[in-house]
Amino acid sequence: MGLVSWARKRSIWVFHVNAASCNGCDIEIVAALTPRYDVERLGVQLVPSPRHADVLLVTGTANQLMRDRLKKIYDQMSEPKYVVAIGACAASGGVFNGCYNVEQGVDKVVPVNLYIPGCPPRPEAIIYGILKLVGEAPERKESVETIAN
Ligand code: SF4
């Protein structure tokens, strides 16, 4: 493994986008980032600009208001970049699936590397998903795709 790859695994910078969520998933992201779960101890840090981020954490349905903004934010990230869809709304539209102004998942707008299900997913699932993305998650019987609430 190269030095840059090694360093990136231990220094994952994330940018959070609320693409029209109800804030339920966002609260769980905040819980993961703050001292109760303290994901920063694992090298995961929230950054204020997508230009600095390795990973985009997206919540919500990517409705008509947010669709173009989400794409613009994604385009500002430098390679390599990853997208994590957090919650049922980001994965498929969730309870809003079929509504006239929402996408059936944020992967209709930007490419998604990982889905974390739940409404909302717990902070443990969010942390595990991010670590799974960079290959740092401990081995478990069930994968992150099957972690339920
Ligand atoms: S998945 Fe549930 S908690 Fe998350 S934004 Fe949608 S409705 Fe809210």
What is the 143 CA–ligand 1 centroid distance (Å)?
Answer: 21
Distance from residue 116's CA to the centre of ligand 1 (Å):
12
pTM for this one?
0.86
Q: What is the pLDDT of residues 84-130, one digit of tens each?
A: 999 999 999 889 988 898 888 999 999 999 999 999 999 999 999 88
Residues having CB closer than 6 A to ligand 1 are 21-22, 24-25, 59-60, 87-89, 94-95, 119-120
Asked if pLDDT for residue 145 goes beyond 80, the answer is no
Cα 125 to ligand 1 centre (Å):
14
- Rg over alpha carbons for the chain, rounded to the nearest Å, is 14
**Can you tell me which atom of ligand 1 is nearest the CA of 88?**
1
Distance of CA 133 to the CA centre of its chain: 10
**Residue pLDDT, tens place only, 71-87:** 999 999 998 899 999 99
Bridge partner residues of 67 (DSSP): none
DSSP, collapsed to helix, strand or coil, labels residue 10 as: coil
10-26 pLDDT per residue, tens: 788 999 999 999 999 99
Residue 146 exposure: Cα atoms within 13 Å on the Cβ side: 4
Per-residue confidence (pLDDT) for residue 61, from 0 to 100: 92
